[in-house]
Amino acid sequence: MPYANLTYEMLGPAIFLSAGFAFLLLYVHDRTQLAALRLSGAYFASLFGFVAVMLVDSDLQPAFQAAILVSLFSGHFLLVWGVASLVGKEFPRLAFGLSVAVVFGLIIYANASGAMFWLRFAAISGFTALVDLMCCALVWRARSHRVDIVVALVFLAQAALTLNRIVLIQLSELDLSTHSVFKNSDFAPSMQTENAIFAIVIGLALFSRYSVTLVMQLRRLAETDPLTGLLNRRAFEAKVQALRAASAPLPTGLIICDIDHFKRVNDNHGHEVGDRSLKAFAELLERETPDTAICTRLGGEEFCIVLAGVNNEAIRLQATHLRRAVEQLQIAIRGGDLSLTASFGCCKLEPGDDLRTAMVSADAAVYQAKKDGRNLVREAAQTVATAEQIKVA
């Protein structure tokens, strides 16, 4: 029977150990996943405290009580930090710091007042509930997918059960003046079971969040240009089709631009400067166009922008704005700053117009702008370039 009890008591630690190693392996596989390293540390740090609480009478061994508190605070600190890193939010320093200060003060008071294990238990359990609520708030504020709602609800449920446990113990007639009395009560195995279950549930929920994040990253890699981060041609055409359908019956605007004399940038300054110039140009396009606009790199130094629900005048004004913004762009290089200019071609697409045909017309307008002196905007309707001229260009 003692062996059976020991096995039962070690179930929780085994779960903590497994979850810690799972997150650690995730970090070893991808060293950029710092959130996984912090979550791994949270499980490992909590492991010692979990074992000590269930197997050691901390009232008789104050050193273990101190070690348990260190495990408690460090484990929960790493949990909040890991969750904040995972969802891209700042660590709630003030809320966490105040919680630690209040709990630490209550524990000191309980120890100084003698047999007040119930107060220590309530303080530590309350702190745990507050940490769960912090994690819930972090995930909820950053929610971008359904799995985020599930993760937030898991933390909320854990906090609710922890607070309910405090209430039940206070309402019970059990004398919780010492740790040993608590260990031998029915509340101890119940608490252990709940903590073990939620250790698994929270771990699975966070792994699900990781899975969604990785899938989204893979999707972004499949849909974006690796250098500039803009949409690639295939993803661009799919999103433009959806944008045009949503904008109908209003027309959409098409702008194609080509950086002037870009070959000189590579020849005179090297490809590293050329790559930085393309990145800076792409960032400018995203920054200087509406949030609804779709930008892509067609290839080389040629880019394309599609605008939703615009007329000819709005399209021309947007292209002119971009041309002037490019003129003001300064790229830091050795010995000074590099300036760029670009030539623009634009046209309007009615809902029934063919995108590829319109792109040929806008590209012809770019050719005309370069022919007229570069750093200009030309509308497709004003060009007389033929398909043969476009090929020659």
| CA gyration radius, the chain | 31
Instruction: Please name the residue ranges forming H helices in the chain.
Output: 2-9, 11-29, 34-55, 62-87, 93-112, 117-141, 146-171, 179-183, 187-223, 233-247, 262-269, 271-288, 312-328, 355-371, 387-392
pLDDT at position 386, please?
37
For the chain, domains (ranges, CATH) are 2-222 (1.20.1070), 233-392 (3.30.70.270)
Tell me the whole-structure pTM to 2 decimals.
0.63
Identify the bridge partners of residue 308 per DSSP, sorted by sequence position: 252
Give the span between the Cα atoms of 128 and 120, in whole angstroms: 12
pLDDT at position 132, please?
92
pLDDT at position 219, please?
75
* CA-closest candidate to residue 231, choices 282, 271, 288: 282
Catalytic residues: 301
Give the span between the Cα atoms of 193 and 216, in whole angstroms: 35
Residue 192, token pair as written in the block: 């252990």
Identify the bridge partners of residue 346 per DSSP, sorted by sequence position: 255, 379
What is the H or E stretch that residue 253 is in?
strand 252-259
Give the span between the Cα atoms of 324 and 17, in whole angstroms: 59
DSSP 49-69: HHHHHHHS-TTT-HHHHHHHH
pLDDT at position 92, please?
93
Give the span between the Cα atoms of 195 and 201, in whole angstroms: 10
pLDDT at position 115, please?
60
Residues of the chain with pLDDT under 70: 1-12, 50-62, 114-116, 173-192, 195, 381-393
pLDDT at position 179, please?
65
322-373 residue pLDDT tens: 999 999 999 988 878 899 999 999 999 998 899 999 999 999 999 999 999 9
pLDDT at position 68, please?
78
pLDDT at position 76, please?
92
pLDDT at position 121, please?
79
183-220 exposure pattern, b = at least 16 Cβ within 10 A, e = fewer: bebebbeebbebbbebbebbbebbbbbbebbeeeeeee
Non-local (6+) Cβ contacts of 343 within 8 A are 257, 258, 260, 366, 369, 370, 374, 375, 376, 377, 378
Give the span between the Cα atoms of 66 and 105, in whole angstroms: 14
Give the span between the Cα atoms of 166 and 159, in whole angstroms: 11
